[in-house]
Amino acid sequence: MKTKKMEIGFFSLTSCEGCLFALLDLKEKFFALNKKVRIKSFRLLEEGIHMSEEKFDIAFVEGSPLTEQNIEQLKKVRKQAKTLIAIGSCAHIGGIYHLKQYSDKEKIFNYVYSGNVGVENFDVLPVNKIVKVDYFLPGCPVNANEFLQFIHGLIIGKSPSIEQNPVCRECQIRGYECVLQKGEICLGPITQAGCDAVCLKSKQGCWGCRGLAEDAQIENLVKELRKKHTDHEIIKVLEVFGIKDLLN
Ligand code: SF4
Ligand code: SF4
Ligand code: SF4
């Protein structure tokens, strides 16, 4: 008997669409998914925002809910989908938009919009502050190979999970030079692994785009960083993905 294919959709809130592009970068591996699932919605492959009454087995949501329209769309997608998966740092932890949270909101608003009224300027929230999220796939952008493993797990009915080690583990396994030991700021010790320590491959310190690792000792790392850096230098990095909010 022919089994019914899982029906899935991808939805973008306010985002750079980098996560969707990361998936499209998988090229034939992404489109091969069509043999196993039915992709019913993917903004970059069709026109307009999908707002139909259709049902989905899985909805993947990219981006931050920064406007009324985003919030309405997110709630609607939640109702339409059996499983909702937040993909990428914007959906997972609020993403790079967090930066605006640490500035004078009115000043920034006037600078960007020249005092125009009628533009929404909500606080940045991760998707799970608005609707229930079943799984998170972190990263800025999302790790496309991790996405593939994840969805293949769901297709065979396995409950997928994300590796819970700090980035340092992957960095050291790959034999990259430790930039923290060289005196640079690196959040690898407190950041969830799964990106193959890609920034360290280019000798760029980790800024924490995948969110906190389990049992992350933020204060200990900050204490260590203070030996070589000013609070201003440390905070500038902790602000990028909102880790500053988690400091006691
Ligand atoms: S997580 Fe990064 S790549 Fe993905 S939408 Fe947000 S800013 Fe873009
Ligand atoms: S460079 Fe960063 S991620 Fe790599 S081992 Fe050092 S602290 Fe950890
Ligand atoms: S090294 Fe850090 S900042 Fe770079 S991709 Fe990995 S988690 Fe993100």
Average pLDDT over residues 174-189: 97
Give 127-167 pLDDT, tens digit per residue.
999 999 999 999 999 999 999 999 999 999 888 788 789 99
In this predicted model, what pLDDT tens digit does every residue of 33-49 receive, in sequence order?
989 999 988 888 865 44
Return the pLDDT at 1.
Answer: 60
Are 62 and 20 in contact by the 8 Å Cβ rule? The answer is yes
Q: Is the pLDDT of residue 100 over 70?
A: yes
* Dist. CA 100 → ligand 2 center (Å): 27
179 CB less than 6 Å from ligand 2? yes
Centre of ligand 3 to C-alpha 155, Å, is 28
Per-residue pLDDT of 200-219, as tens digits, reads 999 999 999 999 999 999 99
The C-alpha atoms of residue 186 and residue 200 are separated, in whole angstroms, by 9
Question: Are 242 and 93 within 8 A, CB to CB?
Answer: yes
pLDDT at 15 over 90: yes
pLDDT of residue 122: 83
Distance between CA 120 and CA 115 in Å, rounded? Answer: 12
Which residues contact residue 232 at a Cβ distance below 8 angstroms, ignoring those fewer than 6 apart? none
Q: Nearest-CA neighbor of 61 among 103, 11, 4? A: 11
Pocket flag, ligand 1, residue 63 (CB < 6 Å): yes
Cα radius of gyration (the chain) = 19
Rounded Cα–Cα distance for residues 173 and 33 (Å):
31
Bridge pairing between strands 37-42 and 56-62: unpaired
Nearest to 213 by CA among 202, 227, 199, 197: 197
Whether 211 is in the pocket of ligand 1, judged by its Cβ within 6 Å, is no
- Helix 218-225, helix 231-240: angle, nearest 10: 140
Specify the residue with its C-alpha closest to ligand 2, atom 1: 178
Percent of all residues in the chain with a pLDDT value above 90, rounded to a whole number: 73
- In eight-state DSSP terms, residue 128 is G
Residue of minimum CA distance from atom 2 in ligand 3: 206
**CB distance 240 to ligand 1 below 6 Å:** no
Return d(Cα 79, Cα 235) in angstroms, integer. 38
Q: Report whether residue 194 contacts ligand 1, using a CB cutoff of 6 Å.
A: no
Domain boundaries in the chain?
A: 6-155, 167-246
Please give the mean pLDDT across all residues of the chain: 91
Kindly list the distances between the CA atom of residue 232 and the CA atoms of 18, 185, 237, 238, 246, in Å, as whole numbers in the listed order: 29, 12, 9, 10, 16
Dig out the tokens for 50 from the structure.
């999908």
Closest-lying ligand 1 atom to the alpha carbon of residue 140 = 2
Q: Is the pTM of this model over 0.75?
A: yes
Q: How confident is the model at residue 120 (pLDDT cuts 50, 70, 90)?
A: confident
Q: What is the mean pLDDT of residues 109-115?
A: 82
- Report the alpha-carbon distance of residue 42 to residue 28 in Å, rounded: 16
Instruction: Please provide residue 82's backbone torsions phi and psi, each rounded to the nearest 5 degrees.
Output: -70, -40
State mean pLDDT over 163-190.
Answer: 96
Mean of the pLDDT values across residues 63-89? 96
Tell me, using a 6 A CB cutoff, whether residue 168 lines ligand 2. Answer: yes
Domain spanning 6-155, CATH architecture: 3-Layer(aba) Sandwich (3.40)
- Nearest Cα neighbor of 233 from 243, 241, 223, 225 is 225
77 CB under 6 A from ligand 3? no
Q: Given this model, what pLDDT does residue 102 score?
A: 87
Q: Which residues contact 217 (CB under 8 A, 6 or more apart)?
A: 189, 190
Question: Which two tokens mark 217?
Answer: 């000792």
Ligand 1 and 95: CB distance under 6 A: yes
pLDDT at 43: 83
98 close to ligand 1 (CB < 6 Angstrom):
no
Which ligand is nearest to the Cα of residue 43, counting in written order? 1
Question: Given pLDDT bands bounded at 50, 70 and 90, which one contains residue 80?
Answer: very high
Index of the ligand 3 atom closest to the CA of residue 139: 8
